[in-house]
Chains A and B, each alone.
Chain A
């Protein structure tokens, strides 16, 4: 599914990713953990194709296709989804209208007609039900005045609607209380299948109690310095990141 080889990336003159290797197979859930500033969000942005970051070396491919020449929307059409750490507000555009535009643009890219209105409506009902989203919420302006929890729930709602092949959840747990965390995690779990893959980026082990990963990687100073199973997450929770830092002094 996702294959990252020797990925180096920088913003302006500062190198942030310094040779990342990662392979994610269909059906797998990978967690990427690490202290602040280790490059986790940069990695997510680079996979999604954000232009602020320059890839200087290495490749990112999705199902064998090199993503380097694809614009962000083309990557989205290919099945990449990023749940943003800080979702932006778009005043005057409702949650419903936004997701309609997103779905229909992706369909257009695949040479499909717009989704019929009744199909769209029942899909919206189904997926909003999954995330316990109130109908009134759907007619609010996108992310405008949303609480932290509402924003994240809305991200996962969009993920559910778009049914991506690869979903990257960038600190989806931040700003969530325990109930919201459970709802969001349940939503994500229901979307897991043998055909898609999920990369969870998080500081804390807490989210991984709900979304149980197959593999855990520790990102530090732009490199994956340790990989393991979910037990690694418990170890990190217990010991903190200091021992990782100590082991990886330059």
Chain B
């Protein structure tokens, strides 16, 4: 394969999101616009109790007073919040009768990612047989979880079935008025997941397969609440490597994690929303607020692989409130074409002997802009707090950008904060070296990118890591051939 930097640049520019797809499903949709009546109507459609309706209304009142944040290193046309429909219940009617009708290229991607046939059908919108393997698998999962006292259901269900937990914890880590998008989400959230692990219970499985099968196609304003009671453990996988095109341009999710004393939560995300076409048109705006609270000796690890979305604004954070608590953030963010990502984390050290680790890997190609933004805050009581941050950027071609914005605020003299950053570029020399060993350019890029991301890929649960690795390859796949 002939290769020069110029050509690589061209390849990456012409790489299109060939795997997206539209679903043209009829749905039960509310009129566009946002006001108190719409908020009430959403709550009513979801048959929520009055306290929930009030909670939403208060959030809405806060939101009206707020302004969209402008500090992120991203540029986009601001959404018209009065031009959006805030509720759309998906109709169950399938789009296709069999997989044969689905775009073969899409199926090919599914195959590359190793997604099961039944899941492929579900994701592509194909009618699924009534007796479906995954349904029975899901039922078995649910039984296993129930035996341990683990609650894992939709947030709507939790509001009805476990109001005491929802009332106590929802908004406790990300208050409704936290920021513009969190307030919006609090007012209009469509659905999401709820998970409660009882004291001392180790969740026996990754809450992933179940999630993916059952929650594919959750709405635009997702709300997730995970509570790990004292001494419990859970590993939670969110999102899907399968590419998803969505007619909803704006996504504003809120995820709250609560790790009580001695508990541990691992939260892994793979995000592959439609990034827009090669001209930068279309694509999802992903404005997410994710935050976890650690009580004494608790630990929260965020691991994310971000390859999709036109604009990403996302900072999974840890409030290290309890003494000896630990926060970790491992991230790979890939941007190509005109994608823009401003992502990172906040580690807020409040308790004594708290520790945090940040490993961020940014990969930029095309004309994209990739920013790491991170805050390490050491409070006055946080004796012996430790932080280690490492931010590495990999550039492909000459038209993209990588930026690092580290903020450090230390108010305790015993704190130790380390920050390391590197920027490198995939060079012609590396590509030629690989070529000379018989490895073509596309494969060479995949190899180099995987090597670069290894420290983070290693943090993902096994089966997810394999998919994520393939996803990185696909995201940077050009028209090389």
Q: Which residues of B contact A49 (CB under 8 A)?
A: 435-436
Chain B residues contacting A89 (CB-CB under 8 Å) are 430
Q: List 8 A-B contacts (CB under 8 A).
A: A51-B3, A71-B2, A82-B436, A92-B453, A101-B437, A101-B447, A102-B439, A105-B438
A71 to B452, CA, bound (A): 26
* Chain A 93-135: CB-based contact to B (< 8 A → 1; otherwise 0): 1000110011101100100000000000000000000000000
Q: A88-B430, A88-B433 are in contact. Are A93 and B438 (CB under 8 A)?
A: no
Residues of A within 8 A of B3 (CB): 51, 72
Which residues of A lie under 8 Å from residue B448 when comparing CB positions?
90, 93
* Known interface pairs A73-B437, A88-B430, A92-B454; 9 further A-B residue pairs with C-beta atoms within 8 A, sorted by A's residue number: A51-B432, A71-B1, A72-B436, A73-B436, A73-B440, A89-B430, A90-B430, A97-B447, A105-B443
**A142 to B433, alpha carbons, bound, how many Å?**
11
- Interface-central residue, A81, A89, A93, by most chain B CB under 10 Å: A93
| Contact, CB under 8 Å: A105 / B440 | yes
A93 to B433, CA, bound (A): 13
Q: B451–A141 contact, CB under 8 A?
A: yes
- Chain B: CB-nearest residue to A107: B438
Bound Cα distance from A89 to B252, whole angstroms: 41
Verify if A162 is at the interface (C-beta below 8 Å from B).
Answer: yes
Specify the chain B residue showing the minimal Cβ separation from A109: B438
Q: For chain B, what secondary structure do more than half of its interface residues adopt (helix, strand, loop), or is it mixed?
A: helix
Q: Which residues from A are CB-within-8-Å of B424?
A: 91
- Within 8 Å of chain A (Cβ to Cβ): is B149? no
User: How far apart sit A52 and B428, CA to CA, in the bound complex (Å)?
Assistant: 10
A245 within 8 A of B: no
- The contact of B439 among A52, A73, A91, by CB within 8 Å, is A73
CB of B4 closer than 8 Å to a CB of A = yes
Provided the pairs A71-B435, A73-B438 are in contact, do residues A51 and B2 lie with their beta carbons within 8 angstroms? Answer: yes
**Which residue from chain B places its CB closest to the CB of A75 in the assembled complex?**
B436
* Contact assessment for B429 and A101 in the assembled complex, using a CB-CB cutoff below 8 Å: no
Q: Quick check: A76 and B438 within 8 Å, CB to CB?
A: yes
- Asked whether any CB of chain B lies closer than 8 Å to the CB of A58, the reply is no
Chain B residue with the shortest CB-CB distance to A48:
B436
Given contacts A72-B1, A102-B439, A109-B438, contact A92 B432 (CB under 8 A): no
> Contact check: which of A50, A71, A102 meets B437 at CB < 8 Å?
A102
Q: Within residues 417 to 446 of chain B, which ones have a CB less than 8 A from any CB in chain A? A: 424, 427-430, 432-441, 443
Contacts A72-B432, A88-B430, A88-B433; A93 near B440 (Cβ below 8 A): no
B residues neighboring A (CB under 8 Å)? 1-4, 424, 427-430, 432-441, 443, 447-448, 450-455
Any B CB within 8 A of the CB of A77: yes
For B453, what are the chain A residues with a Cβ–Cβ distance below 8 Å? 92
Contacts of B432 in A (CB 8 A): 50-51, 72
A105 to B2: give the CA distance in the assembly, Å. Answer: 17
Alpha-carbon distance A234/B430, docked complex (angstroms): 36
Question: CA of A162 to CA of B434 in the docked complex: distance in angstroms?
Answer: 13
- CB-based contact A105/B433 at 8 Å: no
Within the complex, the shortest CB–CB distance from B440 to chain A, in Å, comes to 5
Q: Which residues of A contact B435 (CB under 8 A)?
A: 49, 71-73, 76
What mask results when residues 44 to 58 of chain A are scored 1 for a CB within 8 Å of chain B, else 0?
A: 000011111000000
A91 to B422, CA, bound (A): 12
A1-56: which have CB < 8 Å to B?
48-52
Contact A158 B447 (CB under 8 A): no
Contacts of A48 in B (CB 8 A): 436
| Least CB distance, B4 to chain A, in whole angstroms | 6
Contact residue among B2, B4, B452 (Cβ-Cβ distance under 8 Å from A92): B452
Indicate whether A93 sits within 8 Å of B451 (C-beta atoms), given known contacts A88-B427, A88-B430: yes
Residues of A within 8 Å of B439, CB to CB, are: 73, 101-102, 105
Say whether A87 faces chain B, with CB atoms less than 8 Å apart.
yes
Q: How far is the CB of B104 from chain A (nearest CB, A)?
A: 22
Tell yes or no: A84 within 8 A of B by CB: yes
Chain B: CB-nearest residue to A141: B451
User: A162 touching B437 by the CB < 8 A rule?
Assistant: yes
The reply to whether A106 and B438 contact each other, CB–CB distance below 8 Å, is yes
Nearest-CB distance from B438 to chain A (Å)? Answer: 4
Distance to closest chain A CB from B38 (angstroms): 49
CA–CA, A84 and B438, complex, Å: 14
Residues of A within 8 A of B450 (CB): 92-93
Contact of A98 with B438 at beta-carbon distance under 8 Å, contacts A51-B2, A87-B433 already known? no
Min C-beta distance of A15 to chain B, whole Å:
20
In angstroms, Cα B444 to Cα A102, docked, is 10
CA distance A109 to B443 in the complex (A): 13
Q: Are B451 and A90 in contact (CB under 8 A)?
A: yes
Q: Given the complex, which residues of B lie within 8 Å of A51, measured CB to CB?
A: 2-4, 432
Q: How far is the CB of B127 from chain A (nearest CB, A)?
A: 37
Complex: A69 Cα to B453 Cα, angstroms: 35
Kindly provide the distance from the CB of A215 to the nearest chain B CB, expressed in whole angstroms.
Answer: 24
Check A102–B438 contact: CB distance below 8 A.
yes
Cα of A82 to Cα of B434 in the assembled complex, Å = 11
Top 9 closest pairs, chain A to chain B, by CB: A92-B451, A93-B451, A72-B435, A76-B438, A102-B437, A106-B438, A92-B454, A73-B435, A71-B1
* Distance of A80 Cα from B435 Cα, bound (Å): 11
Q: Which residue of A lies closest to B439 (CB)?
A: A105
